[in-house]
Chains A and B, each alone.
Chain A
């Protein structure tokens, strides 16, 4: 499948929105891959964190949309603490989720819980997972 690499107003808008929301300069990333190397969830991901930001650099929003990577981020900030360019990849992940999925595909919502599990879970988990992944 040939990807048409464009850098028109739509791509620019997408990139600018990501940068605005995350507060990070995505072009500072020189693709060293350290974020992916230290990410505890990277082995489960289809696109690695460094690939996500690479897609953003190239304005390829549709590629990122299909990835389940966005819902595997645990916001542990290991990426942020090790990035040699000081980029907070967790923020970029959140911004991408926000932009590509504003209505929330409800990756994880209350319907996914059983009553027993809901009773057992610490409240903070419920609050966190809904805030990150629900509509």
Chain B
């Protein structure tokens, strides 16, 4: 079956590993991920002040495109995209004034096909018809973890992995509704479904530093260090993320972290879809492990799964 999928800009360029492993993994679950035609950046930040309505235009445009292609669900893995799309969708559904203004704005939208140069305009109003889901939710609710277990080809050997939620998946609770911000367990359920041992540690929802890695790098270094240290202290051999920015802060900046905090020896950072893809039998070359600054290859050991248990 085909499913609408919004990768977001970073996945296509800087963290291709997350994109490729996602597609390959979903193929093994008989789901073909289809990107909305001519999609553009979601905006990365949901506008927090009431007046910046223009900030809603970009994400709504994406959702409108999904709707026009006949989709009623769009799945994403990047936490930033998930947060913006979901919150914008809700804002539009709840507030008729915002709905009217964004639709008025988008009515003048012109889409130009990159190949044929054909122009499309005069789109119908978007009224919140599409539902935004994170891939983890999709796996739990639409596919079901038991079905994932059935398709497992490789045994991950109860690898102790720390699930890192970060900020945007869980907060604000009323809008994201993903799980309880202070005692979440969806990500851990996923890890157990693919054959890892989920490590419990207190920093699973603490901020990694986010965009401050650029504007206030020392603050971000410390924040990321605390997350990695906590995961490692509680026995994790890897930490798994769903956000490319968390990946950047925890993986790419790990050298900086090690220099600032000499007691930290290092911890590989993985995308959750890389684990999923590997467990479902996808080739190592397709996991995108080349993107990683902290080598993670050693974690991916060939070990066939025991007989399928339902």
Question: What interface size band does chain A fall in?
Answer: 35 or more
Contact B248 A122 (CB under 8 A): yes
B:163-205 near A, CB below 8 Å: 167-168, 170-173, 181-182, 205
With A and B bound together, what is the CA distance between A22 and B210 in angstroms? 22
Nearest-neighbour CB distance to chain A for B204, whole angstroms, equals: 13
Could you tell me how many residues of chain B have their Cβ less than 8 Å away from some Cβ of chain A? 45
Interfacial chain A residues near B171, Cβ < 8 Å: 76-78, 80-81
In whole angstroms, what is the CA distance A125 to B8 when docked? 12
Establish whether residues B10 and A128, one from each chain, have CB atoms under 8 Å apart when the complex forms: no
Q: How far is the CA of A19 from the CA of B263 in the complex (A)?
A: 45
Q: For residues 1 through 44 of chain A, which have their beta carbon under 8 Å from a beta carbon of chain B?
A: 20-23, 40-41, 44
Q: Which of B37-45, B61-69, B119-127, B272-280 contacts A (4 or more CB under 8 A)?
A: B37-45
**What residues on B are CB-neighbors of A23 within 8 Å?**
50
Report A77-135 residues with CB < 8 Å from chain B CB: 77-78, 80-81, 88, 90-91, 94-95, 98, 107-108, 112-113, 117, 120-129, 131-133
Q: Check: B287 CB closer than 8 A to any chain A CB.
A: no
Cβ–Cβ contact A98 & B172, under 8 A: no
CB distance from B219 to the nearest CB of A (A): 5
Which one of A40, A98, A113 lies within 8 Å of B214 (CB-CB)?
A: A113
Nearest CB on B from A25, distance (A): 14
Secondary structure at chain B's binding surface: helix, strand, loop or mixed?
A: loop
Q: What distance in Å separates the Cβ of A15 from its nearest Cβ neighbour in chain B?
A: 15
Known: A76-B207, A121-B214, A123-B13. A128 touches B172 (CB 8 A): no
The answer to whether A125 touches B45 (Cβ under 8 A) is: no
**Which residues does A use to contact B, with CB under 8 Å?**
20-23, 40-41, 44, 71-72, 74-78, 80-81, 88, 90-91, 94-95, 98, 107-108, 112-113, 117, 120-129, 131-133
Name B's A-contacting residues (CB within 8 A). Answer: 8-10, 13-15, 41, 43-45, 48-51, 55, 78, 80, 167-168, 170-173, 181-182, 205-207, 209-216, 218-220, 223, 244-245, 247-248, 252
Extra A-B contacts (10), CB below 8 Å, given A81-B181, A129-B215: A22-B48, A22-B50, A76-B207, A78-B207, A88-B48, A95-B48, A98-B49, A121-B248, A127-B44, A131-B43
A-B contact pairs, 28 of them (CB 8 A): A21-B51, A23-B50, A41-B219, A41-B223, A44-B218, A72-B219, A74-B167, A74-B209, A75-B48, A75-B210, A80-B171, A80-B172, A81-B173, A81-B181, A88-B48, A91-B48, A98-B51, A112-B215, A123-B14, A124-B8, A124-B78, A124-B80, A125-B214, A125-B245, A125-B248, A126-B214, A132-B45, A133-B215
